[in-house]
Structure 1
Amino acid sequence: MGSRLVSSIVKDKVRSNPLVRPIELITDLKENYGLDIPYHVAWYGKESATKDLHGDEELSYAHLPWYVNVLKASNVGSHCVLDCGEDGSRFQRIFICFKASIDGFRWCRPMLFIDGTFVTNKYKGTLLGATAKNGNKEVFPFAFAIVSGETVDNWRWFLQRISEVLVDEGRQLTFISDRHGAIIDAVRTVFPASPHGFCLYHLKENLKKKYPHAVGSSFKDHILWLFCKLLYAPTVEEYQDTLKKLRDDGGSKIIDKFLADLPVQNFANAFFPGKRYGEDQNDGDDF
């Protein structure tokens, strides 16, 4: 059974789920058609179906300059930057912020949740995203970029493009992130006056890993509860009182080591220099 025939059979499945794996197609063909096919036939069949449905991925990169021009013409006011390297012959990265997002952000609190995630297609890469929250506390997509990875250069480039969009914003911007080293550097460099809060979810996960698996879940839950109380403490005095309790119950060596590289101005409400509007977790993870 050839890959072209497999392609014609699985095309609808690939259309509904572009990330379907060849092994899943093998199982589907066996269960629904009674067909036994080797892995390489399923793989080539999926590749063929994907190409028929969405075009050649490699050739699509050549269409990006056209796409950028059409985007700017049809979404006047959108900010789109395509970087093809010094000689302009090889795709490096692309930044997109639609006009609707620029206008809509004016009605959101001046706060951006930023994060990156892997691109799992054939050519890999990383998707960087910046999201806000609207008046209903719903995730509001603001800007995104496709880059090679979460490097300092790429994060600086991404935030510099955002600064170009928000040049006339006139409001102090607050950032929330997972404290990735490249993000910390980029925020400090591009937005030196902006407060930068660290995501509570990631901090809790990091603290949890400081204790061995043998430690009971109820103990870990208690320590995480105290840490949350530390973060939410409204005054310096309450912060100090809660910190003493956390060190007593969680072990001063573990807690002190965890907090040693965690500046209080980046996570504790009592020391945070800007406004967090009650937001402590990076909803940018949802993009």
Structure 2
Amino acid sequence: MEGPHRQLTSSFIGQRLKHAIAKQPTQSASQLEDYISMIFEYNVDYGKAWRAKQMALKMVYGDWEESYGLLPKQLQAINARNPGMVYEVEGYPHKTPEGRDRRFTVFRRSFWAFGASIEAYRHFKPVLSIDGTFLSSKVRGMLLVAITCDADNQLVPLAFDLVEREDNSEGNMP
């Protein structure tokens, strides 16, 4: 077949490829172009393969908003297996995305520290280093990490914080 194929949309391809994407989510769009060509005997452009991969990832793992919505449950599950863990998730209570349920809160920030790290800090040098890295996904933000050194000068992570941006003008979380 020559020319564009109107029924071979990126969402159709994504639906067909979701199991292959779930098994190997790191496949590039170029690799998917070859795979799509083999399955449908039709060559698609890079853009359509990339959009199909994004659709398949969304079908398998959910979208970004859903992932942030699951964060409290994930931290609660981690807490159940890590005695002494401390965590907090905070949202904007009065912001909701348009068309969403009013009980849905927009993620603002979260903090967690493992019980073992809290206990271990008592035996370490009383020096903390805090650094952050920008999250460069669809949802922007920063991951902040507080670390210290043990007696062997090995870095030990103590606490983690997901925030919108580096900002100390508003109140602190516990």
TM-score, length-scaled by structure 2: 0.69
The structure that is helix-richer by fraction is 1
Q: What's the CA shift for 1:45?
A: 2.3
Deviations along 1:105-136, whole A, 9 cap, x unmatched? Answer: 22221111111111122212111111112232
Matched position secondary structure for 1:46: helix
Larger Rg: 1
Q: Is the contact between residue 125 and residue 148 of structure 1 (CA under 8 Å) also seen in structure 2?
A: yes
Q: Is the contact between residue 4 and residue 48 of structure 1 (CA under 8 Å) also seen in structure 2?
A: yes
Is 2:165 the counterpart of 1:149?
yes
- Aligned CA-pair RMSD: 2.9
| Equivalence for 2:134 | 118
Q: Is the contact between residue 148 and residue 155 of structure 2 (CA under 8 Å) also seen in structure 1?
A: yes
Change (3 A) 1:100 1:60: same
Q: Which residue of 12, 27, 35 corresponds with 2:23?
A: 12
Matched position secondary structure for 2:53: helix
| Equivalence for 1:54 | 61
| Equivalence for 2:146 | 130
Change (3 A) 1:74 1:29: closer
| Equivalence for 1:92 | 108
Q: Is the contact between residue 10 and residue 25 of structure 1 (CA under 8 Å) also seen in structure 2?
A: no
| Equivalence for 1:25 | 29
| Equivalence for 2:98 | none
Q: What's the CA shift for 1:43?
A: 2.6
Q: What's the CA shift for 1:96?
A: 0.6
Which of the pair has the greater relative contact order for Cα pairs under 8 Å at 6+ separation? 2
Matched position secondary structure for 2:51: helix
Deviations along 1:141-181, whole A, 9 cap, x unmatched? Answer: 11111110112336x63xx53xxxxxxxxxxxxxxxxxxxx
Q: What's the CA shift for 1:74?
A: 3.4
Unaligned 5+ runs, structure 2: 1-7, 95-102
Q: Is the contact between residue 37 and residue 44 of structure 2 (CA under 8 Å) also seen in structure 1?
A: no
Task: Single out whichever of 141-150 and 44-53 deviates more from structure 2.
Answer: 44-53
Is 2:87 the counterpart of 1:80?
yes
Equivalent residues in 2 for 1:176-255, closer than 5 Å: none
Change (3 A) 1:81 1:75: same
Identity, in percent, stands at 28
The structure that is strand-richer by fraction is 2
CA distance, structure 2, for counterparts of residue 81 and residue 152 of structure 1: 17
| Equivalence for 1:65 | 72
Change (3 A) 1:71 1:9: closer
Aligned pair count reads: 150
TM-score, length-scaled by structure 1: 0.44
Q: Is the contact between residue 6 and residue 42 of structure 1 (CA under 8 Å) also seen in structure 2?
A: no
